[in-house]
Amino acid sequence: MSNSTSNSAQNQVCVIVGASHAAAQLATSLRQKGWAGAIRMISDEGRLPYQRPPLSKAFLAGETDADSLAIRPPAFYAKHQIECISGKVTAINRREKTLTLADGSEQRYDKLALCTGTRVIRLPIQGKELAGVHDLRSLADVQGIRRDLPRTHRAVIIGGGYIGLETAASLRKQGIEVVVLERAERVLQRVTAPEVSAFYQRIHEEAGVVIHTDIAATAFEGEERVERVVCADGTSYPADMVIVGIGVTPNSELAEAAGLETNNGIVVDEYCQTQDRDIVAAGDCANQWDPHSGQWRRLESVPNAMEQAKTAAATLCGERSAQTSLPWFWSDQYDLKLQIAGLSQGYDQIVIRGTTDSGRSFATFYFRERQLIAADCVNRPSEFMLAKKLLSQKQTPDPTRLADDTITVRELMAEMAD
At residue 11, the pLDDT reads 86
Q: Using 50, 70 and 90 to split pLDDT, how confident is the model at 321?
A: confident
Best CA proximity match to 212, nearest among 249, 173, 168: 168
Residues with Cβ within 8 Å of residue 206, at least 6 apart in sequence: none
CA distance linking residue 232 with residue 264, whole number of Å:
29
The pLDDT of residue 6 is above 80: no
Percent of the chain with pLDDT over 70: 97
pLDDT of residue 44: 93
Half-sphere exposure of 288 (CA within 13 A, CB side): 32
- DSSP classification of residue 132: T
Kindly list the structural domains of the chain, giving each domain's residue range(s) and its CATH number in brackets, ordered by start: 3-54+70-119+249-316 (3.50.50.60), 122-246 (3.50.50.60), 335-417 (3.30.390.30)
φ and ψ at 391, to 5 degrees?
A: -70, -40
Average pLDDT taken over every residue of the chain: 94
Continuous segment of H or E residues that includes residue 339: strand 336-342
* Pair 307, 138: CB distance under 8 Å: no
Contact 51, 303 (CB under 8 A): no
Residue 415 is predicted with a pLDDT of 86
Contact yes or no for 296/288 (Cβ under 8 A): yes
* pLDDT per position as a tens digit, 196-205: 999 999 999 9
Q: Return the HEC string of 226-271.
A: CCEEEECCCCEEECCEEEECCCEEECCHHHHHCCCCECCCEEECCC
Order of strands across the sheet that contains 328-333: 328-333, 336-342, 371-378, 362-368, 349-354
pLDDT at 3: 37
- N-to-C CA span, the chain: 49
Tens digits of residue pLDDT in 327-342 = 999 999 999 999 999 9
| 295 pLDDT tier (thresholds 50, 70, 90) | confident
Angle between helical axes of 162-173 and 194-206 (0-180°, round to 10): 20
Query: For residue 26, what is the enclosing H or E element?
Result: helix 21-32
Report the Cα 128 to chain-centroid distance in Å.
24
- Can you list the positions of beta strands (E) in 285-335? 286-290, 295-297, 328-333
Mean pLDDT score, 210-223: 97
Identify the pLDDT of residue 2.
35
- pLDDT over threshold 60, residue 411: yes
* Residue 191 pLDDT exceeds 80: yes
Q: Could you tell me which residues are beta bridge partners of residue 227? A: none
The mean per-residue pLDDT over the stretch 251-278 comes to 97
DSSP labels, 52-89: SGGGGTTTTTTSS-SGGGBSS-HHHHHHTTEEEEE--E
* Residue pLDDT, tens place only, 47-72: 899 999 999 999 999 899 999 999 99
CA-to-CA distance for 109 and 40, rounded, in angstroms? Answer: 9
For the stretch 140-170, pLDDT in tens is: 999 999 999 999 999 999 999 999 999 999 9
Q: Give the model's confidence band at 324: pLDDT under 50 very low, under 70 low, under 90 confident, else very high.
A: confident
The pLDDT, as a whole number, for residue 293 is 67
